[in-house]
Chains A and B, each alone.
Chain A
Amino acid sequence: MTNELVIQAENLTKTFGSFTAVDAISFSVRKGEIFGFLGANGAGKTTAMKMLIGISTPSAGKATVAGFDVSSEAEKIKKNIGYMSQKFALYDDLTVKQNITFFGGIYGLSRAQIKLKTAELVEELDLKEVVNQLVGALPLGWKQKISFSVSLLHNPKIVFLDEPTGGVDPITRRQFWEMIYKAANNGTTVFVTTHYMDEAEYCDRVSIMVNGKIEALDSPKNLKTQFGVENMNDVFLKLARG
C-alpha cells in the first residue's frame, strides 16, 4: 500500500429538495486499499457512491476519483473504474465467454486483448468446463467471482463493489475475498459498500455512515478497540443506537 490517494472527498454533499442525503462527508482512500463503506439502508451510502462513480452531480463540496473531478470529468472517471453490484452483474442469457467479450468490448479492449483476458480468466477461475454455458445456469458463487473478474477486465484503478457477497456460502465468500486481496495487492483500490458487518471485518479501513454523515472511520481493529466491543456488528449497533 502506498500513500498515493486515489479517492479524495471534501465536504461532499447531496440534497434532494430539503432532504440532505449526504451531509458534507470528507474522507480519502489510498491506492491498493480495501475500503469499506458501511451504513444502514437509507443512510446515504448509495447516493454517495453514485457521486463518486460520476453518475450523480454533488450539490456541494468536491471529490476526485483517480485524479479526476467528479463534477467536471465524470467521463474520464468511468474509464478508470470498475463496478460490480449484486443486483446487476452479468447477462444471464449469454454464455460466460460472451459476457467477457461483451464487457471487454464496452471498455474498449481489442480483440486480441479480450482473447488473452478470457484465457487468463479461464485458467485462474478454473472455468474450462463452464466457459460456454449460460451464466444463468451457474451457481451464485460462480457468477459473483466471474463478475468481479469482469469488472477488472480493463485494469481499472478503482473497483466499486456494491454488497458483493450477500447470501453466498462461506467457502465461496472466502474465495471471493482472496480475489479481492489479490486485486488490492496488485495496486487496485477496492471500494466496498455493504450493510453486512461481517464483510466489514475484511476491509483495511471502514467508514460508517449514519443519517448522511460519516460517524466513524478507522481500521476494524481500531474501531473495535475504540468502542470496546468484539465485532463490527457491535460497533455498528453502538453507533446507530447513539
Chain B
Amino acid sequence: MLQINTVSITISNISKSYKKVNALTDISFEVKEGELFGLIGPDGAGKTTLFRILTTLLFADQGDATVAGYDVVKDYKQIRNSVGYMPGKFSLYQDMTVKENLNFFATIFGTTIEENYELIRDIYVQIEPFKKRRAGKLSGGMKQKLALCCALIHKPKVLFLDEPTTGVDPVSRKEFWEMLKRLQQKGITILVSTPYMDEAALCDRIAFIQEGKILEIDTPQAIVKHYPKPLYNVKANNMYALIQGLKAYEHHYSVYPFGEFVHYTDKRTDFDSSDLNAFLESQGLKDITIEPTAPTIEDTFMELAK
C-alpha cells in the first residue's frame, strides 16, 4: 500500500454545544491524505455536528480545524470549492432526473460531467440505465450512488460522507464500500461516519465516538487488541435464562448477547470454564458450551464506552 504522510484533515480541541447539550467535547485527531477514515458511533454521538464543522456549515465553540490545508472558519470559501459532501439525509432534488441532478451539481461547481467522467464512471454506469428517471423514484441504493456521483463530480480533494449506508440494504452497502475503496485508490481522502460496527473493519483507521467524545483511534486490526480480557462465547438451550444465569454468577465482568451466543468476560485472571458450566447447570440450563472467542470491533466499542 502507498505510504502517504501528508495530513488532509486536522482537528484540534474542537468543542461544540447546543443550549445545554454538549455535542462535541474536546475532539482532536488527524486524517492523512488518501486515507479512508471511519467515524464510528451511534445516533446522537456527535458525528453530524463534527461533519458540519468540517464542511464549514457550523462554527465550533472552541478549537481549530483545517481541511485540505484551509482553516474551516477563515478559508471557508476555499473549502467549499475543494470538498465533496454527502449529508446524512438523501439530499438531491427528487423532482429532477438522475442526469439533471448530476448536470446541476457539475454546473454549480463550474465543471461538466464530461470533464470528470473518469472519476465517476464506475459508479455512474450502474445508474446510467435510469438516467431519465426522477431521483425520487430510485431505490435506496441507487439514490446513494447518485448522491455519491454528485458529491464527486467536481473532483474534490476530501470527501465527507455522513452515514451514507443508513437505511440501505446489505447488497447496496457492500457495493458502496467497494466504490469507496476504489475512490481511495485515486487519492481522495474520505471521512465516513457510520453507526454499523461491521463497516468499521473496511476503513484504514477508525475513531470511536460516543456522547461527543472520542473513545479510541486506531486501525481496525489494532483496535480490537485494546480489548483487555479474554472473551468467551457462551451458549445454552434458553437465551433469556442464560443471560440471567451469567449475570447471577458472582465473578462475571460483562455479559452481552451477541447473535446466537452470549459474550462473557470474567473478573478473575484465572477463569475456569468448568466452574461456570457447573453454576449454569445448577440454574437449570442445558446444552451449555463455553468457548474462547476473539473480540470484535463491537466488543471493543462496548468495553470502551462502558
Direct contact of A and B (CB under 8 A): yes
Q: Which residue of B42, B139, B241 is within 8 Å of A169 (Cβ)?
A: B42
Docked Cα-Cα span, A116 to B198, in Å, equals 41
Query: Top 3 nearest A-B pairs by Cβ distance?
Result: A201-B259, A40-B169, A169-B42
User: Which chain A positions have C-beta within 8 A of B260?
Assistant: 201-202, 219-221
User: Which chain B positions have C-beta within 8 A of A240?
Assistant: 169-171
Given contacts A174-B256, A197-B170, A221-B260, contact A167 B43 (CB under 8 A): yes
Interface residues of B in 129-152 (CB under 8 A from A): 139-140
Query: Across the interface, do B259 and A41 meet the contact criterion of CB distance under 8 Å?
Result: no
User: Which chain B positions have C-beta within 8 A of A201?
Assistant: 258-260
Query: Across the interface, do B42 and A168 meet the contact criterion of CB distance under 8 Å?
Result: yes
Given contacts A41-B169, A184-B240, A240-B169, contact A169 B198 (CB under 8 A): no
Query: Across the interface, do B169 and A170 meet the contact criterion of CB distance under 8 Å?
Result: no
Interface of B is mostly: mixed
Query: What distance in Å separates the Cβ of A115 from its nearest Cβ neighbour in chain B?
Result: 27
User: Which chain A positions have C-beta within 8 A of B243?
Assistant: 178, 181
B58 at the interface (CB under 8 A from A): no
Query: Across the interface, do B166 and A171 meet the contact criterion of CB distance under 8 Å?
Result: no
Q: Which residue of B174, B239, B241, B306 is within 8 Å of A171 (Cβ)?
A: B306
Q: Which residue of B174, B210, B238, B306 is within 8 Å of A237 (Cβ)?
A: B174
Encoded as 1 (CB less than 8 Å from any B CB) or 0, chain A from 221 to 242 comes to 1000000000101001100110
Given contacts A140-B44, A201-B260, A237-B174, contact A169 B169 (CB under 8 A): no
User: Which chain A positions have C-beta within 8 A of B170?
Assistant: 40, 195, 197, 233, 236-237, 240
Interface residues of B in 240-271 (CB under 8 A from A): 240-241, 243, 256-260
A198 at the interface (CB under 8 A from B): yes
A17 at the interface (CB under 8 A from B): no
A-B contact count (CB 8 A): 87
B61 at the interface (CB under 8 A from A): no
Query: Across the interface, do B298 and A170 meet the contact criterion of CB distance under 8 Å?
Result: yes
Q: Which residue of A168, A185, A241 is within 8 Å of B171 (Cβ)?
A: A241
Query: Across the interface, do B140 and A41 meet the contact criterion of CB distance under 8 Å?
Result: yes
Q: Can you add 4 more A-B contacts, CB < 8 Å, to A177-B257, A231-B198?
A: A41-B169, A166-B167, A181-B257, A241-B171
Query: What distance in Å separates the Cβ of A204 from its nearest Cβ neighbour in chain B?
Result: 9
Query: Across the interface, do B257 and A178 meet the contact criterion of CB distance under 8 Å?
Result: yes
Given contacts A41-B140, A140-B43, contact A167 B195 (CB under 8 A): yes
* Identity of the chain B residue whose Cβ is nearest the Cβ of A200 in the assembled complex: B259
User: Which chain B positions have C-beta within 8 A of A177?
Assistant: 257
* Identity of the chain B residue whose Cβ is nearest the Cβ of A232 in the assembled complex: B259
User: Which chain A positions have C-beta within 8 A of B140?
Assistant: 41
B41 at the interface (CB under 8 A from A): yes
B294 at the interface (CB under 8 A from A): no
Docked Cα-Cα span, A185 to B241, in Å, equals 8
Residues of B bordering A, CB below 8 Å: 41-45, 139-140, 166-167, 169-172, 174, 195-198, 210, 238-241, 243, 256-260, 298, 301-302, 305-306
Docked Cα-Cα span, A197 to B171, in Å, equals 11
Query: What distance in Å separates the Cβ of A45 from its nearest Cβ neighbour in chain B?
Result: 11
A42 at the interface (CB under 8 A from B): yes
Query: Across the interface, do B197 and A174 meet the contact criterion of CB distance under 8 Å?
Result: no
Docked Cα-Cα span, A184 to B242, in Å, equals 13
Query: What distance in Å separates the Cβ of A46 from its nearest Cβ neighbour in chain B?
Result: 13
Given contacts A181-B243, A233-B170, A237-B171, contact A139 B257 (CB under 8 A): no
Query: What distance in Å separates the Cβ of B238 from its nearest Cβ neighbour in chain A?
Result: 7
Output the residue of B41, B139, B166, B256 with the most chain A CB within 10 A. Answer: B256
User: Which chain B positions have C-beta within 8 A of A184?
Assistant: 239-240
Output the residue of A40, A170, A219, A220 with the most chain B CB within 10 A. Answer: A170
Docked Cα-Cα span, A197 to B173, in Å, equals 12
Query: What distance in Å separates the Cβ of A174 from its nearest Cβ neighbour in chain B?
Result: 5
Docked Cα-Cα span, A169 to B171, in Å, equals 23
Output the residue of A167, A201, A236 with the most chain B CB within 10 A. Answer: A167
29 A–B contacts, CB within 8 A, in A order: A41-B167, A41-B169, A140-B43, A166-B167, A167-B166, A167-B195, A168-B43, A169-B210, A169-B305, A170-B301, A170-B305, A171-B256, A171-B306, A174-B257, A174-B258, A177-B257, A178-B240, A178-B257, A182-B240, A185-B241, A197-B170, A201-B258, A233-B170, A236-B169, A236-B170, A236-B171, A237-B171, A237-B174, A241-B171
Query: Across the interface, do A40 and B198 meet the contact criterion of CB distance under 8 Å?
Result: no
Output the residue of A139, A171, A185 with the most chain B CB within 10 A. Answer: A171
Query: What distance in Å separates the Cβ of A180 from its nearest Cβ neighbour in chain B?
Result: 9
Docked Cα-Cα span, A220 to B243, in Å, equals 19
User: Which chain A positions have C-beta within 8 A of B241?
Assistant: 185
User: Which chain A positions have C-beta within 8 A of B139?
Assistant: 41-42
Docked Cα-Cα span, A220 to B260, in Å, equals 8
Interface residues of A in 46-87 (CB under 8 A from B): none
User: Which chain B positions have C-beta within 8 A of A140?
Assistant: 42-44
